[in-house]
Amino acid sequence: MDDNRSGLAARKAILTELGYTVECAENAAGGLAMFDRQPYDLVVTDFRMPDMNGVEFISEIRRRKPHVPIVLLSGFVEALGLNEKNTGADTVIMKSAREVQHLTSAVNRLLKAARKPPASEPAPAKEKRRRHATENA
């Protein structure tokens, strides 16, 4: 989710190039409706949106599926003091010239960690999981 459509399209293109299936929503309400219709392995969202802010959106995602990894992007990270603790996101990334590197690294890391079984469970035998992300605009 991003208030800037060109930024949304650029992030979608990059993640798609890396082999992820990416679906986008125009706003938080649309993103929540998508999330309710099918499961997603990861959510990427902006902080500033027209119908609710990123923290409110993350709270709604956490209420529906508490353990889905979430990346919060914002140009206001420093100005608003946004971090993982006060937003509920797994990773908070400042929109900047290095955003693409930070985003791809975070997505790869979070999806890899989400696929690891807990120490008490045996690892599944060569399970194929669909790499899937959702990004809201």
Domain range annotation of the chain: 5-114+130-136
Report pLDDT for 8.
Answer: 80
Report pLDDT for 26.
Answer: 79
| Fold of the domain built from segment(s) 5-114+130-136 | Rossmann fold (3.40.50)
Report pLDDT for 136.
Answer: 62
b/e per residue 63-97 (b: at least 16 CB within 10 A): eeeeebbbbbbbbebeeeebeeeebbbbbbbebee
48: nearest Cα among 72, 68, 69, 17? 72
Q: Which amino acid is at 117?
A: P
Specify the DSSP element, H or E, that contains 8: helix 5-17
pTM of the full predicted structure?
A: 0.81
Where the chain has pLDDT below 70, the residues are 1-4, 116-137
134: nearest Cα among 101, 102, 111? 111
Tokens of 124: 């599944």
